[in-house]
Structure 1
Amino acid sequence: MKNYDVVVIGSGPGGEGAAMTAAKNGLSVAIIDREDEIGGGCVHWGTIPSKVLRHGIQRYDEFRNSPLFQPAMKYLDIEYPDMLRAAQGVVTQQVKQRRAFYERNDVRIIDGHASFLDPNTVRVTNAAGNTEDVSAKHFIIAVGTNPWQPNDIDFDHPRVVDSNSVLLLDETPSSIIIYGAGVIGCEYASIFRHLGCKLDLVNTRDKLLSFLDDEIIDALSYHLRDQGTIIRHNETYDRVETHDDGVTLHLKSGKKLHSDYLLWAQGRTGNTDGLGLENVGCPANSRKQLDVNEHYQTCVDHIYAVGDVVGFPGLASASYDQGRFAASHILGIDDRRLVEHIPTGIYTSPEISSIGPTERELTEKQIPYEMGHALFRSLARAQIVKSPIGMLKILFHRETYQILGIHCFGYQASEIVHIGQAIMSQPNGANDIRYFTDTTFNYPTMAEAYRVAALNGINRVKAR
């Protein structure tokens, strides 16, 4: 039986961050993954394929609406399976790249499903049924999550899909119901609506993505509706009726919705089934996730857990950092947790990104803030790329000028937010909105929005 310093279970962002940190600091490391290829859900079913889809559809939509390209567009017919093939090319490239990282750093990759036999040993069973026992001084569980599937819905029916199986569709639906209006539901609503699908987005709550700034929530709702999405708030399913040619969703309100497909996007659960947690005395919680302390340790000190399997925030970027921090704690070289404010990126169309508290949260805490706006339609760069929709909002303390939050909606929002993040993180009063008024930005760029928003906000304070 082979023994290692660290065994990582799961090769998504959290597992990768943990394995690479441990290996680069001289520990012997093995990483176990039950899938045929490494990369985890991020690479194969989540972040990468959905963003490739969104990028391709966005380019297609830009060409379709550009006077320059419209004459040629009548000869171009792009379907959903074409987009999926493009996504698969990126997935293959990502897998190859990550495998090279592990090989270069002497991290052994073990294919198969891992299950604890005791707190220091796992048994790995591969697809052929062969087993191998592996022991380690420390374990890091990074098995991720899967879409939650209620028992009363037939997910074996070809017309019912979740966020994994939607990537296997062999046609462009003419109509689709998306049940669940969280990040995944809203992103796929943008994707399918831009392919011309008739779309109902069913939300179990009273607004979309309630953790966002209210102004951005309103803007997202408006633009989804403007694109043709029917949004149905405060609705809960009663039952799902499947047919050979489609699906009928019965809602508790009495409504009946019919479409070609139903995409179930309502929650996720941890991939902890079969992990043998009962053999280490550390069970999963009600969502099949693992509870951890500030060092990402489970109730067994030498067994850590990182990534989506520990719950919030459930972001690939945060998962990678959690993996690094868990490995650092094992090494005794660092003792860190995630920063207080983590940027979010939501790849709807237009996209959304934010960092820090919203206006609602600042008001509840009675923090005297002011805001600065920059509307994208006034920026030369946005006019050049024909993307006038959107805005940048900077929230700052009206007395100290400290930047409190950045909220962005529109073209390149997920890139733009990092400029604000960098200044927000500066110590000793350097996180001042006046930095943007005293800095020269390239012209024309989207980054120039920071100067416009900063001037707008400071003028609001001085006007009073």
Structure 2
Amino acid sequence: MTKHEFLIIGSGPGGYTAAIRAAQLGYDVAIVEKENSLGGVCLNWGCIPTKSLLQSASVYHNIKKADTFGITVKDVKFDFNKIIERSRNVVEKLANGISGLMKKNKIKVYHGTAKLLGNATVEITDHSNKITSITSTHIVIAAGSQAKSIPGIDFDNNIVWNAKNAMMPNKFPESLLIIGSGAIGIEFASFYNTFGTQVTMVELKDNILPLEDHEVSECMHNILSNKGIKIHTNSSITKLEKCNNYAKVQISDTIDLQVDNIILAVGIIPNSSNIGLENTKIKTDNAGFIITDKHCCTDEPRVYAIGDVAGSPCLAHKASHEAILCIENIAAGENKIPQHKVHTINKNNIPSCIFSIPQIASIGLTEHQAKHQGYNFKVGKFNANCSGKAVAIDEVEGFVKVIIDKSTGELLGAHMIGAEVTEMINGYIIGKQVEITDQDIISAIFPHPTLSEMIHEAVLSSNNESLNS
């Protein structure tokens, strides 16, 4: 029986990061991946390909408004197949990069499905049904998640799409219904709307982007509506009839609609089934997410869980950071690294980014959450149309909003919508991590003219000191 010091189940952002960090610390490491390509959903069918697709949409969007900048472009066209092809080439390049990192760090790669047998043993069944049994001192479950369906509406790879289908459609949809308005739904709405698809969105809750600050949600609702996207909140699908090449849908018993395709974007479920948890002491919550402590330990000795399979927030950067803290906690316990390297995650310091047009980014508490938790706070807000750089580049939609503790000056939350805010949020991320105050930000010098000046102006606004609004 083959033995390793670390066996990582899953090669997504959490899995491959855990494998590399363990190898860096001198451990004998193996990783098992059920798909042919490394990188998990994030690289192959999530974060990376969608960013490539959305970049194509952004370029097309900017070319169409070239006349604003005094540039005449005639007969602007797009080749949808080439847009898809480019996204797959990006994926292939980065997947090859991860394979190279595995070789560089001398990490053994197994392709197949893994099942825990208990007693530090894992059974791997490869694609030809050959079974390999492995024992490992430590086992890290980084099995990820998959798209959730809803009763009466199942993925069929034809009419009803998951994200993978939407990234490689068999035809370009002239009309599209998106069920769910979280990050995935909003990104696909932006992408397809930019290229001319008639997009309709249905959201069960009373506003789109229900996890975002209410002002961000309202702003995005208005922007999408102005682009021709039809949005139905407090709504659900009450009837669905699939035909040969389209679907007939009824929304909340009142609105009849015919669409080419439906994207179901209503969340995820963890890949915790069929991996042998029943052979261990590992516990899951009611939704199937593996229960861990602050160091990613499960109830089974020397078995850990990180990333989506271990619960919210289900974000790639949360998974990769959990990978580091998990491995370093183990290594510190075995005197491989100093104890001071051990740390835990403050979930309030995990940022969220949505790469729609315009982009959305946030960290910390929303205004509603701050009220609910009893904080005495102040709010600052700076609109993009007051930024010299935003006006110069014609990106005047959106704003930056901050929530500041009145008594301490602590940054409780920051919420942005607009151009390049997924990059700008990093300023507030570092600020929250080192617990800077509003006065620290106010006393900093920001370069002019930049979009990042809005970080400064929003905090100034919380003190009624904004200079440009």
TM-score (norm 1): 0.93
Residue of structure 1 in register with 2:336 after alignment? none
Residue 42 of structure 1 and its aligned partner are, at CA, apart by: 0.3
Residue 432 of structure 1 and its aligned partner are, at CA, apart by: 2.0
The within-5 A match list for 1:220-239 is 220-239=220-239
Distance 1:149 1:359 in 2: 31
Say if 2:375 is the partner of 1:375: no
Residue of structure 1 in register with 2:428 after alignment? 420
Distance 1:103 1:159 in 2: 41
Q: 1:85 to 1:214 in 2, by over 3 A?
A: same
Unaligned runs of 5+ in 2: 334-338
CA contact under 8 A between 1:9 and 1:140: conserved in structure 2?
yes
CA contact under 8 A between 1:145 and 1:309: conserved in structure 2?
yes
The within-5 A match list for 1:148-227 is 148-150=148-150, 152-156=152-156, 158-227=158-227
3-state SS of the aligned residue for 1:231?
strand
Residue of structure 2 in register with 1:432 after alignment? 437
Residue of structure 1 in register with 2:448 after alignment? 443
CA contact under 8 A between 2:178 and 2:262: conserved in structure 1?
yes
Residue 402 of structure 1 and its aligned partner are, at CA, apart by: 2.7
CA contact under 8 A between 1:235 and 1:253: conserved in structure 2?
no
Distance 1:384 1:226 in 2: 22
CA displacement, residues 64-121 of structure 1 (integer Å, 9 cap, x when unaligned): 11115864341x4214333221111211121122112221111111111111233311
Residue 372 of structure 1 and its aligned partner are, at CA, apart by: 2.3
3-state SS of the aligned residue for 1:164?
helix
CA contact under 8 A between 1:292 and 1:298: conserved in structure 2?
yes
CA contact under 8 A between 2:438 and 2:459: conserved in structure 1?
yes
CA displacement, residues 274-322 of structure 1 (integer Å, 9 cap, x when unaligned): 2122222436444332122222122212111110111200011001011
CA displacement, residues 171-221 of structure 1 (integer Å, 9 cap, x when unaligned): 321000011122211111111111111111010111112222111111011
CA contact under 8 A between 1:81 and 1:172: conserved in structure 2?
no
Residue of structure 2 in register with 1:97 after alignment? 97
Q: 1:437 to 1:289 in 2, by over 3 A?
A: closer
Q: How many residues align?
A: 458
The within-5 A match list for 1:13-162 is 13-67=13-67, 71-74=72-75, 76-150=76-150, 152-156=152-156, 158-162=158-162
Supply the RMSD in Å over aligned alpha carbons: 2.1
Which residue identity does 1:163 align to in structure 2? A
* Higher mean C-alpha displacement, 330-339 vs 261-270: 330-339
CA displacement, residues 40-84 of structure 1 (integer Å, 9 cap, x when unaligned): 00001111111111121011101111115864341x421433322
Distance 1:401 1:155 in 2: 48
3-state SS of the aligned residue for 2:176?
strand
CA contact under 8 A between 1:351 and 1:413: conserved in structure 2?
yes
Residue of structure 2 in register with 1:314 after alignment? 314
CA contact under 8 A between 1:354 and 1:406: conserved in structure 2?
yes
Residue of structure 1 in register with 2:304 after alignment? 304
CA contact under 8 A between 1:208 and 1:221: conserved in structure 2?
yes
Which residue identity does 2:87 align to in structure 1? A
Distance 2:286 2:184 in 1: 22
Residue of structure 1 in register with 2:394 after alignment? 386
CA contact under 8 A between 2:66 and 2:73: conserved in structure 1?
no
CA contact under 8 A between 2:400 and 2:458: conserved in structure 1?
yes
Distance 1:377 1:426 in 2: 30
CA contact under 8 A between 1:80 and 1:171: conserved in structure 2?
no
Residue 329 of structure 1 and its aligned partner are, at CA, apart by: 2.2
Q: 1:284 to 1:425 in 2, by over 3 A?
A: closer
Q: 1:179 to 1:70 in 2, by over 3 A?
A: farther
Say if 2:398 is the partner of 1:397: no
Distance 1:184 1:80 in 2: 20
Indicate the structure whose relative CO is greater, using CA pairs within 8 Å and at least 6 residues apart. Answer: 1
Q: 1:442 to 1:252 in 2, by over 3 A?
A: closer
Residue of structure 2 in register with 1:454 after alignment? 459
3-state SS of the aligned residue for 1:381?
helix
3-state SS of the aligned residue for 1:72?
coil
3-state SS of the aligned residue for 1:201?
strand
TM-score (norm 2): 0.92
CA displacement, residues 242-283 of structure 1 (integer Å, 9 cap, x when unaligned): 111201223453433210001111121112332122222436
CA contact under 8 A between 1:153 and 1:239: conserved in structure 2?
no
* Higher mean C-alpha displacement, 43-52 vs 287-296: 287-296
Distance 1:341 1:60 in 2: 34
3-state SS of the aligned residue for 1:31?
strand
